[in-house]
Amino acid sequence: MPDIHRPGRRSVLAAAAAGSASLGASWLLTGCTGASAAPALPKGAKQGTPDRGGTLRIARPPASEAETLDPASALSAYEYLGALYNRLVRIGADGDLAPDLAESWEPDAKARTWTFRIRKGVSFHDGRELTSADAAYTLRHILAKDTASPQAAVLAPLIDPAKLRTPDAHTLVVPLKTPNAEFPSLLTHYNCYVIPDGSARGIGRTGIGTGPFRLESFAPAGPGRITAFTDHWAGRPVLDAIDFYSVADMSARSNALLAGQVDLLSQTNLDFATARVVAASDRATIARVENAQWYVLPMLTTEKPFTDVRVRQAMKLAYDPEHVVKVALQGAGTPGWDNPVPPSDPAHLAAHPEHDPEQARHLLKKAGHEGLTVDLYTSSYDPVFTPMALAYQDSARRAGIRVRVKTASADSYYTQIWMKKPLMATYWYTGRPVDQLFTQVFRGGSSYNETAWSDKAFDALLDRARQETDDERRRELYGEAQTFVVEKGGAMTPMFADRLVGISRKVRGYAEHGFEFDYLGIGLKGA
């Protein structure tokens, strides 16, 4: 599942599996019973230079039949996007901003107007040359109400689409409503892939972009195929083609990998037992993407007892994140200490309050909630949800907090539980720039603010941070924002988890960052 939760996105299960084989799961589950004796999981995928050519076969979870190739859509076919399209700006392997279709960008003195220099000599898959008009059209498409793009909520407060300027074919000028020194980072989001001028009506079917692969076939919630775009501006990709298959559940996808029917499991975070079975097999292994998922226990701040900041603070002090990482992730992750900014982010603030169950008891007593009992909702939607909930339950017991873990249906979890129950388990993908993270998930009024927390002082702090042009001072302000969230917000962040990706032992060059893996460099050895 992509980084933003999409109700219904995976609710319609397609029956199509890789090839025509029937992929049973019984032996895999039986094999998991002895997983504790299996070797430790590998630290990373096998490295080395892949052979030129070949077809990579990817199994992905089923999607809605309304799935589209329009990158701006809330129902975009996420697994295709990084192959078919490029952004103006991307996130590099080091976590910093890197040029993509924009070779460079610069602000005016107040960071209120940004000028992007568009790369020359870039062609779309249909042969059209990329110009600044395409970049401007892409932003207008994201902001259009009919598009209903999740990224519109982030960009609309900043951009008036009528004021975008293209003084020449390779210059885009973006005047902002308010200064924002972090603006280019907001264009790294996966909704911001560049599409051709005037293409909105058909882009969901054609997938015409500037990416290293071009579309050959696509069926919503079903199979598809993309082939190498030999005229790609950054060079031809290693692979000749990628085939996508929609496979109904994780066990079936894992069995397809073990049987050699597919080479990579996309958008699937394997549970530890299954990951050990995969890693011990002759055909497959595990690629670990460090701290790729950010796990959260959101407290709905509009519902008692979490309307009281003292209760929220007590809930955070009551548990030990290191214990949760050890139990729920078996060490394959990093304690979060309730800070949603991942440790790899240059803006990450390492300081945090220590686990203190006695102080948690004291705060609860002052708030009139001594001996607090709460319901914590989880489901099988993600294999880590329930272990995380149980680890929290065990740890918080020392503070006198009784946690009743309740399991809800996976099919309706993000429509009936998320943002509706006072306390539940959820996750996001990391890779989101710090300003977007705070704006989208924590700012008052955001549609993705899953705790409904609203604090005018926090919002004002974000405004000051994004307007600050001095890099060091801006980092300090984002550090203050992290402290604000930890001390007053409604989100508990126990941990950042390594994502466990199942891949064939033939795969080489698997590298993932910024919401996608490297489509240019990935390939196969001895295929």
Question: Does the pLDDT at position 371 exceed 90?
Answer: yes
Q: Which residues pair with 224 in a beta bridge?
A: 218, 244
CA 38 to the chain's CA centroid: 30
Helix axes 434-441, 456-467, angle to 10 degrees: 160
> Which of 5-9, 136-140, 391-395, 468-472 shows the lowest per-residue confidence on average (mean pLDDT)?
5-9
Helix (H, G, I), strand (E, B) or coil at 229: coil
CATH number for 26-75+211-283+505-524: choose from 3.30.43.10, 1.25.60.10, 3.40.190.10, 3.40.50.720: 3.40.190.10
The residue-averaged pLDDT of 359-382 equals 95
Question: Does the pLDDT at position 17 exceed 50?
Answer: no
The residue-averaged pLDDT of 337-364 equals 93
- Residues 198 and 214: their CA atoms lie apart, in Å, by 19
Give the containing element (helix H, strand E) for 434.
helix 434-441
The residue-averaged pLDDT of 309-334 equals 94
Closest CA to 267 of 44, 92, 75, 500: 500
User: CATH fold of 291-498, please?
Assistant: Dipeptide-binding Protein; domain 3 (3.10.105)
The residue-averaged pLDDT of 370-376 equals 96
Topology alike, domains 26-75+211-283+505-524 and 89-204: no
The residue-averaged pLDDT of 115-128 equals 98
Q: How many CB atoms lie within 10 A of CB 156?
A: 15
Contact assessment for residue 85 and residue 98, using Cβ atoms and an 8 Å cutoff: no
> Which of 19-23, 163-167, 207-211, 398-402 shows the lowest per-residue confidence on average (mean pLDDT)?
19-23
Helix (H, G, I), strand (E, B) or coil at 241: strand
Q: Which residues pair with 405 in a beta bridge?
A: 376
Place of tokens 């203050």: 480
Predicted local confidence at residue 309, as pLDDT: 97
Contact assessment for residue 312 and residue 319, using Cβ atoms and an 8 Å cutoff: no
Give the containing element (helix H, strand E) for 327.
helix 321-328
Helix (H, G, I), strand (E, B) or coil at 43: coil
> Which of 20-34, 116-130, 147-161, 210-224 shows the lowest per-residue confidence on average (mean pLDDT)?
20-34
- Residues 474 and 470: their CA atoms lie apart, in Å, by 6
Give the containing element (helix H, strand E) for 496.
strand 491-504
Torsion of CA 98, 104, 109, 110, to 10 degrees: -50
Q: Angle at CA 440, nearest 5°, toward 434 and 446?
A: 150
Predicted local confidence at residue 120, as pLDDT: 97
C-beta pairs of 256-259 under 8 Å, 24+ apart in sequence: 256/17, 256/18, 256/21, 256/23, 256/59, 257/59, 257/283, 257/284, 257/502, 257/503, 257/504, 258/28, 258/283, 258/284, 259/21, 259/23, 259/283
User: CATH fold of 89-204, please?
Assistant: Dipeptide-binding Protein; domain 1 (3.90.76)
The token pair that represents 514 in the structure block: 């910024």
Burial class (CB in 10 A: 0-12, 13-18, 19+), 172: buried
- Residues 34 and 476: their CA atoms lie apart, in Å, by 48
How much of the chain exceeds pLDDT 70, in percent? 91
Q: Angle at CA 271, nearest 5°, toward 266 and 272?
A: 125
- Residues 460 and 361: their CA atoms lie apart, in Å, by 32
The residue-averaged pLDDT of 482-509 equals 94
The token pair that represents 139 in the structure block: 């932003």
Question: Does the pLDDT at position 31 exceed 60?
Answer: no
Average pLDDT over the chain reads 88
CA 313 to the chain's CA centroid: 27
Query: What is the Cα gyration radius of the chain?
Result: 23
Q: 270: pLDDT confidence band, cut at 50, 70 and 90?
A: confident
pTM for this predicted structure: 0.82
Predicted local confidence at residue 215, as pLDDT: 98
The token pair that represents 377 in the structure block: 């909702």
The predicted-structure confidence for 439-492, as pLDDT tens digits, reads as follows: 989 999 888 899 999 999 999 999 999 999 999 999 999 999 999 999 999 999
Predicted local confidence at residue 43, as pLDDT: 65
Predicted local confidence at residue 282, as pLDDT: 93
Contact assessment for residue 75 and residue 68, using Cβ atoms and an 8 Å cutoff: yes
**Cβ partners under 8 Å of residue 404, min gap 6:** 373, 374, 375, 376
> Which of 26-40, 225-239, 253-267, 510-524 shows the lowest per-residue confidence on average (mean pLDDT)?
26-40
Contact assessment for residue 131 and residue 169, using Cβ atoms and an 8 Å cutoff: yes
Contact assessment for residue 524 and residue 506, using Cβ atoms and an 8 Å cutoff: yes
Predicted local confidence at residue 64, as pLDDT: 82
Question: Does the pLDDT at position 23 exceed 50?
Answer: no
Contact assessment for residue 503 and residue 50, using Cβ atoms and an 8 Å cutoff: no
Number of H helices, E strands in the chain: 15, 21
Predicted local confidence at residue 4, as pLDDT: 44
Contact assessment for residue 195 and residue 134, using Cβ atoms and an 8 Å cutoff: yes
Contact assessment for residue 17 and residue 256, using Cβ atoms and an 8 Å cutoff: yes
The predicted-structure confidence for 387-432, as pLDDT tens digits, reads as follows: 999 999 999 999 999 999 999 988 889 889 999 999 999 999 887 8
The predicted-structure confidence for 66-100, as pLDDT tens digits, reads as follows: 999 999 998 999 899 999 999 999 988 777 889 99
- Domain boundaries along the sequence of the chain: 26-75+211-283+505-524, 89-204, 291-498
Q: 65: pLDDT confidence band, cut at 50, 70 and 90?
A: confident
- Residues 510 and 523: their CA atoms lie apart, in Å, by 8
Predicted local confidence at residue 410, as pLDDT: 85
The residue-averaged pLDDT of 296-304 equals 97
The predicted-structure confidence for 188-207, as pLDDT tens digits, reads as follows: 999 999 999 999 999 999 99
- Residues 126 and 208: their CA atoms lie apart, in Å, by 7
